[in-house]
Amino acid sequence: MADYIPELGKADPNQLGICIYPLQGDRIQIGDYDKRFTIQSISKIISLCVAMEIFGAAKIFEKVEAEPSGEAFNSLVELDLNSNKPYNPLINSGAIAVAGMLIEEVSFHDMLRFARELCDDDEISLNRKVYESEMSTCSRNRAIAYLLESKDIINSDVEDALRFYTKMCSLDVTADSLANFANRLANDGVGNITGKRYLSSETVRIVKTLMLTCGMYDGSGTYAVEVGIPTKSGVGGGLLAVSDKRAGIGVFGPSLDPKGNSIAGCRLLKEIAGKLRLSLFYDTNLITADRIDYSLTEFAHRHDK
């Protein structure tokens, strides 16, 4: 677990839950699907969505590149050495830069409202304990933020941007909430029952592309080969996976690999993706409960042992 944030170190490493919400067919919920955990880096997707809607792609990519970095999520090297812009909005430096833009237009309260709406979950709220734990151990993010200021990437108040960023990371969600959000991303930004558009087609397309190329930190390329579903991980143990035109998937499993991705969660998604041929480059069959049920139950069973 992410024991560099003391409060996160307390989670039970054996938890595992998944929710699959297909565009057509029934919702599938297994294990700890309704357990609350902090969203952490998956909040970068919410922030990016909102920033895309407010500023548009062009303005964002003036501040942040769209390139995978080949470096760890919290690296300063790539920022200082190779570039005057963060590599992409899904690593810390890029997300803090986006936070610096957002705080000039929206409040954290606005963001909380967006998060609840996008995830269709009114119980999303700030986990104060985690937030305070993170703020007291965020020297590296603070270093990144001031480096961004020194490079004119952040022009707003650095401490405000950092607090905003850290609050967004400290939202309590469930695998269920993430599946709701992912479902709408899979459906071009539109609620698949109501038909309501939450995000523009362009926003959704760009966000999914970045999730595929940069969503799993410096393991993104390997994950794309092995799983092939746009996914964003968080060190709280969450995974937001968008099986485009088929289903939204939320996973919770707090044991992390060295790159910061959920071990059981990634293994589970790899297994499902393999069995159901969910890679972007396979066919486009629907995901339905009967195709999925067996493997999941079996996986959870194996995971317990």
Binding stretches for a copy of itself (CB under 8 A): 57, 61, 65-71, 75-78, 80-82, 87-88, 139-140, 142-147, 149-150, 158, 201, 204-206, 208-210, 212-214, 218-222, 224-225, 228, 230, 244-245, 279-282, 284
63 catalytic? Reply is no
217 catalytic? Reply is yes
Dihedral over Cα of 223, 44, 171, 241: its sign: negative
Phi, psi of 21 (to 5 degrees): -120, 95
* CB of residue 188 to a copy of itself, shortest distance in Å: 8
4 catalytic? Reply is no
**CB-hemisphere CA count at 13 Å for 97?**
26
Helices and strands, counts by H and E, the chain: 12, 8
**C-alpha distance from residue 120 to each of 145, 187, 222 (Å):** 31, 15, 31
The active-site residue, picked from 64, 98, 207, 235, is: 235
* CB of residue 52 to a copy of itself, shortest distance in Å: 11
The active-site residue, picked from 41, 47, 93, 170, is: 41
By beta-carbon proximity to a copy of itself, the closer residue of 113 and 218 is 218
* CB of residue 220 to a copy of itself, shortest distance in Å: 7
- Cα gap 106→50, rounded to integer Å: 9
* CB of residue 104 to a copy of itself, shortest distance in Å: 18
41 catalytic? Reply is yes
By beta-carbon proximity to a copy of itself, the closer residue of 27 and 205 is 205
The active-site residue, picked from 173, 217, 227, 242, is: 217
235 catalytic? Reply is yes
Q: Among all residues, which ones are annotated catalytic? A: 41, 44, 165, 217, 235
